[in-house]
A = this chain, B = another copy of it.
Amino acid sequence: MLTDEYRYRILKVLEQDPDVSQRELAKRLDISLGKANFCLKALIEKGLVKAGNFKKNPNKARYLYLLTPKGIEEKASLTHRFLLKKIKEHEVLTEEIELLRQEAFINTQEINDHE
């Protein structure tokens, strides 16, 4: 499945490194080759990425995965959405940690009670 998470991360990799193989992309995102292939195709299908081949350049991969103007736009939009999302996650996490601290503290108290 192509989540926002991967959409963003793939666009980011391709933006600064268009000559990357699907295997290399898979490695960087820590996903399988099959999934990298699937996601990439989806991005191409959506018109966010264009797969241009470059036979001129030797010693290189088959395709250049270039972001289309739409892709650049989408990536900027995703960055913003992601920032907001991560900030929210940060807030939640901060609260979770506080609760865990209290809980861990209570646990130590209980151990003392039993001694």
A83 to B101: give the CA distance in the assembly, Å: 7
Do B86 and A104 have beta carbons less than 8 Å apart? no
Instruction: Give the residue of B83, B87, B93, B104 whose beta carbon is less than 8 angstroms from that of A80.
Output: B104
Could you say which of A89, A100, A103 has the most chain B C-beta atoms within 10 Å of its C-beta?
A: A100
Do A104 and B79 have beta carbons less than 8 Å apart? yes
Q: Count of A residues near B, CB < 8 Å?
A: 20
Cβ of A76 within 8 Å of any chain B Cβ, yes or no, is yes
Cβ of A41 within 8 Å of any chain B Cβ, yes or no, is no
Chain B residues contacting A110 (CB-CB under 8 Å) are 76
23 CB contacts below 8 A, A to B, read A76-B104, A76-B107, A76-B110, A76-B111, A79-B103, A79-B104, A79-B107, A80-B107, A82-B100, A83-B97, A83-B100, A83-B101, A83-B104, A86-B93, A86-B96, A86-B97, A86-B100, A87-B97, A89-B93, A90-B90, A90-B93, A90-B94, A90-B97
